[in-house]
Structure 1
Amino acid sequence: MTVSSLLRRVAAGAGAAFFLALGLAGGAHAADTPVGATTLGGKLFLDVSHLNAYRNGQRTATSRNGADLKRFYLDLEHRFSDVWSAHLTTDINWARDSSPTDLWLKHAYLQGAFSKALVLRFGSAPLPWAGFVNQWSGYRYVDKELVTRLKFGASADWGVHALGALGDRGRLQYAASVISGSSFKHPRTGDRPDVEARVAWQPSAHSVLAVGGYDGERALGGGNLPTYHTARRWDAMAAYATQRVRLGAQYFRAVDWNQVRSPRGDCASGWSAWASVVLDPRWAVFARYDRADTSASLDPSRRDHYANLGVAYRVSRQVQLAAVYKRERISHEHLALSSSNELGVYAQIGF
């Protein structure tokens, strides 16, 4: 079972029939795995690209040609009973400009699937927002969604997680996590747990409206350093997806996300819009644009602009390729502080 399958189970617990109809879920639900069975799978995100990066008009050392192993997920699942199962996902990252290779334990949780209305997870599990956006926008192997790309949120964390689907055909979906706040990469605890939550409504099988939020100290409380603020984030998304077309946008606003231990407050906000069209069973085109004010109080003229444009080719169910152009520009008072242009081939390989 792959990482995307784990993420799809978030959706499966919140209305699997709709996501299957959208083509956003292709693997078996946990209930289809025989009791006592153990499954092993994985997924790789690879790229070969040319990157030009500039800071204050000067080309930087991060400009390079070469290959990256952005993600290598190994997934292990064991089914104890009709209700209980255990999930483990390791996350390996090797990039040209990082050494040594990073190895994390991304998912390690015990799951109790009591009904479609209630699934509980104990341990490090997917958080409510990031994976949900990735399911609707697609092309995670090309880049992260807006909030995690800008590091105003994480995709997984340690804690207690609940999710499910309510109402007519499970169209009202919820997810809530009481977590450490430190993310899965650097687990630690603070004075109090953090909370992230999401509520989504699907008016039809192909559309969704979702809102979410985050509240906590990001495990920065305690120790010798005082805390001055609580980190908060508000999220919203509207999306439409069929087997041929995806359209959507998300918005976030974060308050004091990076200022928990600073007496000075700050806030950030941004939006992202995406579109993709499947031209035939193998070929598709996609595009995305992000814009964010990353420090509205301390550096109000600072802006982050990001865009990608690509052509995807589906080699098989397990292998997808995309030729992609990416551009990111961080500006201040209309002057570029840094910018990058990248052209490459990106791949997703599952097994």
Structure 2
Amino acid sequence: MKHLLLCLTLTLIPASVWGADHSVFAHRGASGYLPEHSLPAKAMAHAQGAAFVEQDVVLTKDNVPLVLHDIHLESTTDVASRFPDRKREDGRYYVIDFTLAEIKQLNATQRFKPKTGKPVATERFPLTGYTYQLHTLEEEIRFIQGLNFSTGRNVGLFTEIKKPTFHQQEGRDITKAVCEVLTRYGYGADRNSACWVQCFELTTLQRLREEFGWKGRLMMIFSGSKIGPDGSDYDALATPEGLKQLSRVVDGVFPNLPRVVTWDKSEKPQCSDFTRAAHDAGLRVITGVIRRDDLPKHCPSIAALHEALFNQAGVDDVCTDFPDLSVQWLKAQPAR
């Protein structure tokens, strides 16, 4: 009973969402500073003032929701040396082919290039600095709720269901598995729940609403490609009519940065009408990902990126690898 009460008291919407105009979503935790999706990265994001912390979720062989960005293991773990014979014909090691017990044997690190062993982001946390064990969605929820309890804050979840169509083709229902865990911990009962569920596939978000009765907040992510794995037409959904259609299902949208703003050669931002159209449809707009070490083409600085997104494009929130920099920028803005 005590555990249940703790879960219920920690799932109200963070006060910062309604007490301020903007919120900061931590992309895979404070992934600019620590290995993505490691619990230390989540703790750092929590301490840096993020309102929501992201969990990408995939399924193991024994149907356990695991926090990991990819459906593959070879870019962040030592799976190739520990289980060299478990790769598929395409040479890749799929999470869904390993039980949780097997995955717990792996050492995870900062993201690297499997062919060379070199880090993807050379100026981020070193590959040799720290190894960690992958963890489940349930373990992360308990970790974040524990931090909320001990700090008196109420940081929410930003849970992405990864590649539902792929999982369906493998005979698995990742949407159901994720929904069951979130519901068990008190999320999704209404729009005040401190959790956003996001996905690139509209059919998955529709299932959550219609089949599973999810009453919490949902967010549609827009890819840079034209068509999603489930047939979602991103360009069509980005039109005023498409956004109105989305508003029947979701509460917010996560457009890729070029749909919101680009920069010309003179380093001046060129904003689209996407945010205005989304707001007209009653949708909240979050965008990113903000990366200090990977700015958009011709964007002169991370400060200029924040300025363009918030004060010119008019987005509501940002998703960032560097939560502290986004929080600091927002705090430095004059009161309205």
**TM-score, normalised via structure 2 length:** 0.31
Which structure has more helix as a fraction of its residues? 2
